Structure formats: structure tokens, C-alpha cells
Amino acid sequence: MDDDDAIIALKAGQLDGYMCCDPFGSIAEMEGFGKIIGTEWGAHVSDDLENGWGLHCGYFINTDFAEEHPELTTRLVLAHCLAIKYMYQHPYNAGMMFAAGNYCRLRSFCQVFAQ
């Protein structure tokens, strides 16, 4: 599902949460049907958030889901954090899993990951 479809599904309550790049998370939060629960800036950002570069990527979840399942929401974020930690601590193994799951060669993945 691409980001355009995912934000519509989130708003309709058919999707509990998803990961995407902005502006989709900001739209969901601004319109009140979603909440940004984690971010990754990815670029140099000014400390002045009003005039800074803005959000790069995030982890977004339906507000109703977050309110109804706060413990599960916390566990989802923790699982994502642990996956990222594993990726940095075990880049070769993570690359093997990514390459197998996405049908690409490990060398291609490693070239992108090294950048």
C-alpha cells in the first residue's frame, strides 16, 4: 500500500498505523485522525522547529487505536526500535534478511546501506 492509500485507510479506521514520510503524518495529526509517535530526522535540522527543515520519516498510528491499546502501541514502537538497533549492530545479517525478503542481491543492499 502506498502512502496515498495508507493515509486514507488510516482516516477511515481501516488501518491502525503505518510508517511513512511526511507530509502524511503531519496531515493525520493536524486533521486529528492520527498521531506521530516516533520520528527520524535524517537531515540537518535547525533547533528552531518552527523554521527548521521539518520531519523526514515517522511512525504513525491511528489515535483511536493508540487510546484503546496503549500497551500494544508502546510495544510496537519498542519492536521497531529494537529492529533498528539490530540492523546497526548486525548489518550483514540484517542485509541478508532484507535481501531475501525483497528479492535483491546483498551487495546492492550493502552499497545503499553504506551510504
pLDDT tens-digit readout, 94-108: 877 777 765 555 555
Model confidence, pTM: 0.48
pLDDT at res. 101: 66
- DSSP lists the bridge partners of residue 36 as 60
pLDDT at res. 20: 79
What is the domain partition of the chain in residue ranges?
1-68, 70-115
pLDDT at res. 43: 46
pLDDT at res. 93: 85
**Rounded distance between C-alpha atoms, residue 18 and residue 20, angstroms:** 7
Please identify every stretch of the chain with a pLDDT value under 50, giving residue numbers as ranges. Answer: 43-45, 53-55, 112, 115
pLDDT at res. 102: 58
